[in-house]
Amino acid sequence: MNSLESLNQQIISCRKCPRLVEWREEVARVKRKAYLDQDYWGKPVPGFGDPQARILVVGLAPGAHGSNRTGRQFTGDASGKFLFPALHRAGFANQAAAESRSDGLLLKDIYITASGRCAPPDNKPSLEELNNCQPFLARELKILHPKVIVCLGRIAFERVLKIYAARNSVNKFSHGASYQLEHGAWVLGSYHPSQQNTSTGKLTAKMFDAIWLKAKQLAARK
């Protein structure tokens, strides 16, 4: 087993945050009416994608009936319905649809992960829970050593800067802003493709396409 697989096994078996363990398992037991016939994942959700990726995408945390149900990042929820078509248009994914872990989706040059691995109530992990989960992200960054880190939302952005001990006061989050870290990798901020952002037009498909184009350009820099 390689280091990424071994890390993912550790993530899947983690029970460090009592509130989140209770919530993710309760949601998986009760289920949403539309998914009563499905087996929910109900565990921490590991990262997935191309282990040779130059670009790492960091989200917030699993949705209760999205990746907490399917077991794969952004799969089966409204954010994924916006994210994966954009990755497909940009040439990072072989298909736009992402419904389950066995849907045939393959990512190229992209690996997708999150700041927190367990679905939180109201989509809001506490600071303590994010801190508990941070070592997993730090290890992923060390193993994958990405050239570009696309942070979906302010929380992911600040978490990544915290791991690299970069100063937030200098590197402010904004959509499309990029910063080079001391070791040379780039951090690129993007609004999160949540339904709240996409349904209100805060994040449009055109704006999102520009992020993936910029990520490619940054990854190609020497």
How far does Cα 87 stand from its chain's mean position? 13
**Which residues, in sequence order, are CB contacts of 122 under 8 Å at separation 6+?**
none
Q: Which of 4, 14, 177, 207 binds ligand SF4 (CB under 6 A)?
A: 14
Q: Which stretch binds ligand SF4 (CB under 6 A): 66-74, 126-134, 167-175, 192-200?
A: 126-134
Residues 59-88 that bind ligand SF4 (CB under 6 A): none
Site string for ligand SF4, 127-166 (x = CB under 6 A): --x--xx---------------------------------
Find, among 171, 76, 66, 167, the residue nearest to 120 by Cα.
Answer: 66
Residues 98-117 that bind ligand SF4 (CB under 6 A): 116-117
Give 49's strand partners: 111
8 Å CB contact between 82 and 76: no
Compute the C-alpha angle 104/114/34, nearest 5°.
Answer: 55
Q: Which of 16, 101, 139, 154 binds ligand SF4 (CB under 6 A)?
A: 16
Q: Which residues bind ligand SF4 (CB under 6 A)?
A: 11, 14-17, 20-21, 44, 116-118, 129, 132-133
